[in-house]
Amino acid sequence: MSKLDQLKSMTTVVADTGDFEAIAEYEPQDATTNPSLIYKAAQMAQYRELVEDAVLFGTREGGSDSLARARSMMDKLAVNFGTEILKIVPGRVSTEIDARLSFDTEATLRRAEGLVELYQAAGVDPSNQVLFKIASTWEGIRAAEILERQGLHCNLTLLFSFAQAVACAEAGVTLISPFVGRILDWYKNADNVAGYPADEDPGVRSVTRIYNYYKRHAYDTVVMGASFRNLDEILELAGCDFLTISPALLGELASTEGDVPRKLDPERALTMEIVKLDLDQPAFRWELNEDAMATEKLAEGIRLFAADTRKLEQFAHELCRNC
């Protein structure tokens, strides 16, 4: 068996891409996207129709208000890609809510409501087939808590700290996406090293700690490792609930044979002595502030997603200026 097949026997594999052909090739259970991935996919000729449709929708719905047009266009584009992905994967697609709303709970909720309406109009059941992807700020976690109570499920992204993970679990969110590779990037730069042994990789250690904490205290929130830089990080997290993996790394796993031992185990986690934490807003903000890596990477991630959202808006307008 390939390493990918073995990994699938203990972990739900998710495709981290907006490219439908790559998703179909590796047969993942779910798929996840973000503005960066959709921006890349939207530039492919085979997806132009989806972009044009979104621009026409934004023009029709937004009228003369340029901000309203852009917002309508971006939401329709996300739903267009999500709807097409759901024709390929048997599970769910993660659809990101505009990163520029990361510190506004009410605005995040309003955008989620709009996405729900668009998915329903496309014949998709958002309560069963979609995860609403929200940055793991305090405000984002609060929005996710409300959405979960409404029967809508959330994927809390840009997660770098243990405090963020604890707050997400207490809020009852469906899934979190700790960013393994970005954590590694920060520590390599801070420590001025080329890398670490797989079992000492800071991103791997972060996800392992979160996984064990969740299992020890019986949280239902799913841990989905994300943002991988190499195969060793993935294999060191074999047994994690979910792993979202780029097509390039999925290809390496599919073409490589060898044993894939289970590294994360819920039964083993139940035997661990792990203190349960309770974080209110001041404690959450303090713990996040004390973690320089998480503070810097969260802010950077929001800025990057926002920048790619603006690039995607501009690209769509230029492509379909005469639509």
According to DSSP, the β-strands at 12-16 and 242-245 are parallel
Q: Is 63 exposed, middle or buried (0-12, 13-18, 19+ CB in 10 A)?
A: exposed
* Rounded-to-integer distance, Cα 168 and Cα 177, Å: 11
Q: Which of 236, 232, 231, 257 is nearest to 246 (CA)?
A: 231
The residues, ordered by sequence, that sit 6+ positions from 118 with a Cβ below 8 Å of its Cβ are 75, 76, 79
Sign of the CA dihedral running 72, 73, 78, 82: positive
Cα-based distances in Å from 2 to 6, 229, 238, 244, 258: 6, 20, 14, 18, 7
* Residues designated as active site: 133
Where would I find the H helices in 224-270?
231-236, 247-254, 266-270
> Which pair of tokens denotes residue 43?
């530039």
Q: Answer whether 154's CB lies under 8 Å from 134's CB.
A: yes
Please tell me the number of Cα atoms within 13 Å of 288 on its side-chain side. Answer: 23
* Rounded-to-integer distance, Cα 304 and Cα 300, Å: 6
Cα-based distances in Å from 160 to 131, 278, 300, 320: 19, 18, 11, 37
According to DSSP, the β-strands at 242-245 and 222-225 are parallel
* Rounded-to-integer distance, Cα 37 and Cα 75, Å: 15
